[in-house]
Amino acid sequence: MNLEEVARLAGVSRSTVSRVVNGDARVSVAARTKVQGVVREHGYHPNAAARSLASRRTRILGLLIPRASGAIFSDPFFPVLIQGAIDACNDADQNLMLLMDTDEEAPTAEGSRLHRRVLRGRHLDGVAIAASVVDDPVVALLRKERLPFVLIGRHPDPDVAYVDADNRGGSRAAVAHLIAHGRRRIATVTGPMTIRAGRDRLDGYCDALAAAGLPSGPALIGDGDFTRRDAHRATHALFGQPP
Amino acid sequence: MNLEEVARLAGVSRSTVSRVVNGDARVSVAARTKVQGVVREHGYHPNAAARSLASRRTRILGLLIPRASGAIFSDPFFPVLIQGAIDACNDADQNLMLLMDTDEEAPTAEGSRLHRRVLRGRHLDGVAIAASVVDDPVVALLRKERLPFVLIGRHPDPDVAYVDADNRGGSRAAVAHLIAHGRRRIATVTGPMTIRAGRDRLDGYCDALAAAGLPSGPALIGDGDFTRRDAHRATHALFGQPP
DNA sequence: CTGTTAGCGCGTTCAT
DNA sequence: ATGAACGCGCTAACAG
């Protein structure tokens, strides 16, 4: 069952069927009704490949996930991220392709096998990149290929689009909330200081304390690494208890 | 840059280039070398959509994930599953599309919007279904559409392909290991008895105890629900301690 | 508002 | 071993 057949059965041309299927307004009510009937009756559904070939859009978005450090396992952020990406795609009638490099294959300047297969094959309309390192070669590659992309997490280059949480502001707000409720001795467990989000959250904590004229200091700051386990340990340490 | 251009630059026909790209043996060494040179030099890569349209294969496999109960967040199994699926796809030069129904849209007999868009659009070569309920309507739908699929988790219908862990055997082996190391009073924390894997693991536990002539009983069996939190609670309860 | 006409880029016979 | 020719199913001008 394809456009041609539907057209024949409905007594119109392929173009008209295509217009109906794609919600083009320039179709008479009669023709539209007729076509919709045939479509429903025969369960017609457009072929994705043909559509992509003709329209030059795949309706597929990529989500590139780093393999490094098995982050996808330990960091509870990833399930949330993935679910969010799926939901957003569903809302936009797009599909989500999950991308991750092979074990041995760190991305190089020429691009990995994954890169060649997916990114260069014009398999995607665009790609979101989770947790890339700042000098990730993938940025340069995607640019050269003019494939739209967005980084998840701040990027220094002003020409690179990114989305990020307001880590500093959020942290500041959280601490300000405690202060507003009368707390005067507020501790924090940080993330790694090598990671932007870690620094920003600590900065926000310091912002709020400074604004309220409250003290901080090493005794109130525990080192964490964004894992549950380490947060547990660091919190016990802050309270002067064994873990 | 497409087949046509590569052919022109290499002084051969499109067919020959296609053969080289697809690893067809029936090409002279001279032609092959020449074509490969042009391909590398100009960074040619076949267009996925055109390829799919002509070959009727997309090189995309789907992984259908249930939305129910936010399992993707709480169950550590999903990140592992996803990573495994990606790796397997990479190894087979396939791509992975992640599928999940919208919030409001439980799968019905006619199929959800997701279903229509992806499954019927012949967007996939096949699909793996994670944690479907036994009477999931998706099974009947996929069958009717002749889209290859496999369930993750046992399914009663003998005509339905599935993969599953040997829950009973694994559980039995674990308990037998403890017994072999001299333990005589062995407790377990179960999963929900409404779930096949939960029952099977409890059965395996009982198998091993019975084989060794060791006792079990309510005092040694804690009720869990596969969440970390509940396992924690149940374990404390088994030891007669507050959680 | 509708139909006709060209492609989109590639796989695949079928001759040669 | 190679090339010509057709078709995959659809979108997008264009003309009417």
Distance of CA B43 to CAs B6, B11, B38, Å?
A: 10, 17, 8
Give the nearest partner residue to B48 out of A82, A96, A123, using CB atoms. A123
Output the tens digit of pLDDT for each of chain B's 243 residues. 899 999 999 999 999 999 999 998 888 999 999 999 999 999 999 999 999 999 999 999 999 988 775 667 777 788 889 999 999 999 999 999 999 987 766 656 566 777 877 888 889 999 999 876 656 778 888 888 889 999 998 888 899 999 999 999 999 999 999 999 999 999 999 998 888 889 999 999 999 999 999 988 888 999 988 877 888 999 999 988 766
Name residues of chain A where pLDDT drops below 50.
none
Per the structure block, which two tokens stand in for B60? Answer: 């995309």
User: What per-residue confidence (pLDDT) applies to B62?
Assistant: 96
C-alpha A43: how far from chain center: 34
Per the structure block, which two tokens stand in for A117? Answer: 């297969």
Interchain CB distance below 8 Å, B117 and A123: no
DSSP single-letter state for residue A13? -
Interchain CB distance below 8 Å, A90 and B43: no
Task: Mention every residue, 6+ apart, whose C-beta is less than 8 A from residue A103.
Answer: A67, B87
SS3 state at A62: strand
B99 beta partners: B64
Nucleotides of chain C in contact with protein CB (under 7 A) are 1-5, 7-13
In the chain, the amino acid numbered B151 is L
CB B123 within 8 A of CB B58: yes
User: What per-residue confidence (pLDDT) applies to A35?
Assistant: 93
CB B64 within 8 A of CB B138: yes
Task: Mention every residue, 6+ apart, whose C-beta is less than 8 A from residue A113.
Answer: A102, A105, B90
Q: Which strand (E) or helix (H) includes residue B64? A: strand B60-64
In the chain, the amino acid numbered A19 is R
Residue A19 CA distance to nucleotide D8 C1' (Å): 20
Interchain CB distance below 8 Å, A79 and B58: no
Q: How far apart are the C-alpha atoms of A109 and A37, rounded to whole Å?
A: 53
Residue A130 CA distance to nucleotide C10 C1' (Å): 33
Give the nearest partner residue to A86 out of B43, B51, B100, using CB atoms. B100
Closest C-alpha to A204, from A235, A166, A234: A166
Closest C-alpha to B198, from B171, B229, B233, B236: B171
CA dihedral B221, B226, B230, B232 (to 10 degrees): 80
Give the nearest partner residue to A97 out of B50, B90, B97, using CB atoms. B97
Q: Does B93 touch chain A (CB under 8 A)?
A: yes
User: What per-residue confidence (pLDDT) applies to A216?
Assistant: 84
- pTM (2 decimals)? 0.86
User: What per-residue confidence (pLDDT) applies to A172?
Assistant: 97
Nucleotide lying nearest to B49, CA to C1' measure: C9
User: What per-residue confidence (pLDDT) applies to B229?
Assistant: 83
Interchain CB distance below 8 Å, A122 and B47: yes
User: Cα Rg for chain B, rounded, in angstroms?
Assistant: 26
Q: Show the CA angle centred on residue B204, arms to residues B225 and B226, nearest 5°.
A: 15
Q: Which strand (E) or helix (H) includes residue B61? A: strand B60-64
Measured between beta carbons, which residues in chain A are less than 8 angstroms from residue B58?
A: 48-49
Give percent helix, percent strand, percent coil of chain B, each to the nearest 5: 50, 10, 40
Q: Does B1 touch chain A (CB under 8 A)?
A: no
User: What per-residue confidence (pLDDT) applies to A71?
Assistant: 65
SS3 state at B91: helix
SS3 state at B148: coil
Q: How far apart are the C-alpha atoms of B216 and B109, rounded to whole Å?
A: 45
CB B232 within 8 A of CB B198: no
Chain B interface, best mutation among A2, A42, A45, by max B CB count within 10 A: A45
Q: Are strands A60-64 and B221-222 parallel, antiparallel or unpaired?
A: unpaired
User: What per-residue confidence (pLDDT) applies to A228?
Assistant: 79
Q: How far apart are the C-alpha atoms of B77 and B152, rounded to whole Å?
A: 12
CB B128 within 8 A of CB B121: no
Give me the count of residues in chain A. 243
User: What per-residue confidence (pLDDT) applies to A69?
Assistant: 58
Residue B59 CA distance to nucleotide C3 C1' (Å): 36
Interchain CB distance below 8 Å, B73 and A79: yes
Task: Mention every residue, 6+ apart, whose C-beta is less than 8 A from residue B140.
Answer: B109
